[in-house]
Structure 1
Amino acid sequence: MAARERGEAGGERPESLSLFDHEADGEPADGPAGDGEDPGGGGPEGPDAGGAAAAGGEARRRRRTRRVLIGTLAVLLVLALGLFGVAYWTVDHYASAVPRIPNAFPTVPASAQPSAVPGAGTTFLLVGLDARSDVATTGKDAKAPAWKAGAQRSDTMMLLHISADRKSAAIISIARDTLVDVPGHGKAKINAAYSWGGPALMVETVQDLTHIRVDHIAVIDWNGFRALTDAVGGVDITIPQTIEARGDARQWDAGTHHMSGDQALLYVRERYGLPNGDLDRTKRQQNFLRALMLQTMNAGTLGNPTRLTGLLKAVGDVVSVDDRLSNSDLYDLAWSMRGLRPDGVRFMNAPFGGFDTVQGQSVVLLDDAAATTLWEAVRSDRMDAYLAQHRTTSDTLGDSVR
């Protein structure tokens, strides 16, 4: 402080002073020293009076500037906090609207389940139903359980694997008629597992089949996709060649169709008019999800408040997730995937091994050798390398889907 006073008394301004420096008594840092007289002997009326007045004016301007800056920063801070509060409320509000599924995982000992592989990404089991039951919630408004024994079979099974670096994702469909071992029930079609034991038995069946640890489960209501599709303004889907009407199946003309929710639902449900039945149907479901993803990530959707709000509202009517996923977990997952691009998401079917008839029922067989290689790629988070080697196989979803 003494050095500073010597600098002022000598008429020199210390170089260390800044716009926000000020004396304890409120006097500007570059103001005159002492009682207002010029230390050089000129006095108030002396030859330096004009300089002193200019210095005083400059000090007042700097004080005003400081007040403006501080006031502006305060306003920006309030706005930022307000926007954060709105954003947090929005995220929490819509995340809370996503129903949670209790008891969604098998209760068998951990030693009887696949081991989790640290740093190997996240794997979801996606289960599609044609009609989803109300999911139980806590409190007085609790509704019916998410599953009732024998009430429904799962229409779609997909494994969604998100890479550890969140730069890629793979969606693998398992045909509903795939013949598997269902714990406690023997050989059966995989979709029977949901009917017999709900989400927990479905998870256990898939884990036993693939030896992949399922981190989370999401139950999707295909019927609810009508609202989701309409919320983004419809989707564009290309039919490569005309498929004639067959039975209750409608005719699909070749060309690109802008589909509403109702039309998209007919598209994903159809299988009787398709050459490979359920296998082609799973590819249609994947093709629809790809089109919906592209439309959702389109700036016209994300930049339109009405569409974005409708999309967020529709999510809770379409998807239920296990109760291990909290609101903050959902937010963190979505935020971690912000850099994922559409071309980083790949779709495929589990390797097809042929058709067969078991006890009078048509079933789908897996190619066990090829499937073992695929499951290991998922388990070790090496799907990018796997897909680089298998991108031309018929199991991988291409640009042309019947």
Structure 2
Amino acid sequence: MNGRRRLWLAAGLAVLLALVVVLAAVIAGSNRTSSGPSPSSASAGATATHTPSPTKSPAPTAAAPAPPTIPELPATPMNILVIGSDSRANARDQNNQTVTTGQSSDQRSDCLMLIHVPADRHKVYGISIMRDNWVDIPGYGASKINASLEVGGIPLVVRTVETLLGTHIDHTVMLDFEGFKVLTDGLGGIDVNVTLPFTASFDTHHTFVAGINHLDGEAALEFVRERYSFVDGDYQRVRDQQTFLRALLAKLSGGVQTPAGVLGLVQFAANYLTVDQGYDPAAVAILAYGLRTVDPKASVFFTMPTAGTGTSPDGQSIVLPDYAGIGEVAAALRDDTLPEYVAAHGY
């Protein structure tokens, strides 16, 4: 597999949670008042017959600006589809061209994760969908699921996942190659607990040792991209992506962001994050604020069931979907019983 084709489940949701933190900081710091000048005192040594010099009236004090208010989201379950584009160009521009013209683009959704947020928003459930799953893409036919972005843009990715899992997607978030590195570096790097040490087979050949590793954007990219160093290839790669997301959420939940950080994240959202139609960085912030009660430590991540690997009719190496297992996940999403499903399967 060409080294350019990878990406990254988590950054989309991570940006949402980051904005929760920084918006809270802005709100806390915004209720400041400014004092007007003090009245002048009478001249020293004045006598009873001396007329005091006139004093200036205090300048009017401007009213303190009201703290910004952020509307609450309805307390209903929510599904957010996070798409990792492998584009080395601009994933948003390529998507728009595909949607507008119907022409295929040179990008694939090599990382897909459905983020399910229950109505109480105490935790999230992340369901990784392996990129090589051989599925039916509506209107296109049987193919690897990562081809849906290439041939139909985000709308076709959404239709494919909705069909596969029998659920509605409320929002989409797409991040490309460069955006992942920018996000990681913008947060000062991420501390990741590496349980299976390895040396990356590409780019800088970064070595990941067992235990906590502090990763900058480039190292983090190599961490979530690697598959050739593992016996089970993409399966371990998906587990490492989930590990990275846990670490990213943990940092965001415990970090203190500055107003400069707010501007940086808004700029990031504007330049690198692609969201569903009608959403701009401010709207993403509103969505993020609604997720402020999520506890990253309580959140659960697992991979959509598969039935092993195989070969497609045209000779591609593919992942075979476990449709019975997928049906169980679909039922849990439909019936709002993911906690019971997770407990039964030991996730």
TM-score by shorter chain over 0.5: yes
Q: Does 2:117 align with 1:166?
A: no
Unaligned stretches of 5+ in structure 1? 1-70, 92-117, 137-142, 397-402
SS across alignment from 1:145: helix
Instruction: Report the Cα offset of residue 312 of structure 1.
Output: 3.7
**Identity across aligned pairs (percent)?**
34
Q: Does 1:335 align with 2:289?
A: yes
Distance 1:123 1:152 in 2: 24
* The one of 251, 266, 269 aligned to 1:315: 269
8 A contact 1:230–1:260 mirrored in 2: yes
Q: Deviations over 1:145-196 (max 9, x none)?
A: 3645132111111111111222221111100000101122221100111111
Q: Is the 8 A contact 1:120 1:380 kept in 2?
A: no
Distance 1:244 1:166 in 2: 37
Match for residue 263 of structure 1 among 215, 219, 240: 219
Aligned residues: 280
Q: Summarize the alignment of residues 344-359 of structure 1 with structure 2, pairs less than 5 Å apart.
A: 344-358=298-312, 359=314
- C-alpha change, 1:167 and 1:242, in structure 2 (3 Å) is closer
- Aligned residue among 183, 188, 193 for 1:233: 188
Shifted more, 349-358 versus 380-389: the winner is 380-389
TM-score in terms of structure 1 length: 0.63
**8 A contact 1:355–1:364 mirrored in 2:** yes
Shift of the 298–316 alpha-carbon distance from structure 1 to 2, 3 Å rule, reads: farther
Aligned ranges 1:1-400 → 2 under 5 Å: 78-81=63-66, 83-84=67-68, 121-131=77-87, 133=90, 135=92, 145=96, 147=98, 149-244=104-199, 246=201, 250-299=206-255, 301-302=256-257, 304-325=258-279, 329-358=283-312, 359-390=314-345, 392=346, 396=347
Contact 2:113 2:129 (8 Å CA) reproduced: yes
Structure 2 SS opposite 1:177: coil
Task: Provide the residue aligned with 1:53 in structure 2.
Answer: none
Do the aligned partners of residues 341 and 356 (structure 1) sit closer, same or farther apart at CA in structure 2, a change above 3 Å counting? same
Q: Are the structure 2 counterparts of residues 294 and 194 from structure 1 closer, same or farther at C-alpha, using a change threshold of 3 Å?
A: same
User: Which protein has greater RCO, CA pairs closer than 8 Å, 6+ apart?
Assistant: 2
Determine helix, strand or coil for the equivalent of 2:64.
helix
So what's the TM-score if we normalise by structure 2?
0.72
The offset of 1:328, in angstroms, is 6.3
Distance 2:210 2:115 in 1: 30
Instruction: Call closer, same or farther: CA 1:327–1:312 in 2, change over 3 Å.
Output: closer
Q: Using a 3 Å threshold, how does the CA distance of structure 1 residues 267 and 144 change in structure 2: closer, same or farther?
A: closer
Distance 1:381 1:279, change over 3 A: same
Amino acid at match of 1:79: A
Bigger radius of gyration among the two? 1
Post-superposition shift, 1:222? 3.5
Name 1:35's counterpart in structure 2.
none
Deviation sequence 1:345-402 (CA, Å, 0-9, x none): 2211101211111121111112221211111112232222222222x3xxx4xxxxxx
Q: Secondary structure at the match of 1:311?
A: helix
Unaligned runs of 5+ in 2: 1-57
Query: Which amino acid counterpart does residue 145 of structure 1 have in structure 2?
Result: N
- Quick one: which amino acid aligns to residue 248 of structure 2? L
Change over 3 Å in CA distance of 1:245–1:167 after alignment to 2: closer
SS at match of 1:279: helix
Change (3 A) 1:234 1:188: same
Equivalent pair of 1:240/1:255 in contact (CA under 8 Å): yes
SS in 2 for 1:377: helix
2:280 and 2:186 map into 1 onto residues whose CA distance is 25
Q: Report the equivalent of 2:34.
A: none
RMSD, matched Cα: 2.9
Contact 1:153 1:193 in 2 (8 A): yes
8 Å Cα contact 1:124-1:218 kept in structure 2: yes
Whole-Å separation in 2 of the counterparts to 1:246 and 1:262: 14
SS for the counterpart of 1:168 is coil
Q: Deviations over 1:252-310 (max 9, x none)?
A: 322321011111011111111122111211222221122111112223x33x4444543
Q: CA–CA distance in 2 between the matches of 1:144 and 1:185?
A: 17
1:144, distance to aligned residue in structure 2 (A): 8.5
> CA separation of 1:328/1:133 partners in 2, compared to 1, >3 Å: closer, same or farther?
closer
